[in-house]
Amino acid sequence: MSTKWTMITGASEGLGVEFARLAAAEGRDLILVARQVQKLERLADELRARHNVAIEVLPTDLSDPKAVEALWRRAEMRRHIDVLVNNAGLGYNGPFTGSEFNREMSSIMVNVTGLTILMKRAVAHMTRQGGGHILNVGSTAGFMPGPNMAVYHATKAYVLSLTEAVAEELRDSPVTVTVLCPGATATNFIKDAQMEDIALLKALPVASAKRVAKAGWTAMKKGKRIRVTGLLNKFFAVSPRFAPRALTTRITALFMK
């Protein structure tokens, strides 16, 4: 039984691909999860050829709680998963009164429900097995309300709060929980969430997925609770503590238009 299995959700593109490359470069065996099986298989072939690691591809719809439970049961079978990267995430840019109800409900199921199920199962599994690391991919969006992306910001606030709370519960255990909070990152999420024309992307630099993933991976291995990437993003993360909440919300609305 391998003691070095890493499970990564949203592994078909963007940050997920970069996390997988980092893990494989360390000789870690991989469980790659996403809906797009062809992209997962191409990545698996690349990493097997470069690093000679074992990889299992498990295509899963993470918006379906029953599918997420089945995923975990299959993934942990005869394995010690000592790293879980909850990277999968959905979002939608547009007014709350818009027509993307199904998209927003899927965002809640993936960003909140699916993440929570996997985290819950992983904590119990890692505790039994003697330790491990969980990395939840949040966002600077989690530090403030987000008009025009209200549901996404709310889900990332949940991820931030959940991670901090559980990390404190596990303070004296061999299991650590880290939340990575990047700002805008060069991935397909921007296009999928219909964010290409928002003011934020015109005003601020967009970070590379490779750099953001490396920062999160390093923070996870050190057992840090929160990692915000980029100086401007750190400013945005702390500013709600000092500015009136209504003002912060108004400013965020302007950036998200």
Query: Which of 39, 156, 202, 234 is an active site residue?
Result: 156
Residue 55 and residue 78: Cα distance in Å, rounded?
14
CB atoms within 10 A of CB 168: 10
Mark residue 94 as left, alpha or beta (left: phi above 0; alpha: psi -120 to 50; beta: remaining). left
CB 229 within 8 A of CB 183: yes
CB atoms within 10 A of CB 35: 14
Q: Is 120 marked active-site? A: no
Query: Which of 152, 158, 202, 234 is an active site residue?
Result: 152
Q: Kindly report the backbone phi and psi dihedral angles of residue 8, in degrees, each rounded to the nearest multiple of 5, phi listed first.
A: -125, 125
Question: Beta strands of 148-199 (E only): which ranges?
Answer: 175-181
Q: Is 152 marked active-site? A: yes
Name the 3-class secondary structure at 244: coil
The contacts of residue 81 (CB under 8 Å, 6+ apart) are 5, 6, 7, 31, 75, 122, 125, 126, 129, 132
The contacts of residue 72 (CB under 8 Å, 6+ apart) are 117, 118, 121, 122
CA distances from 45 to 14, 48, 246 (A): 17, 5, 50
Active site members: 152, 156
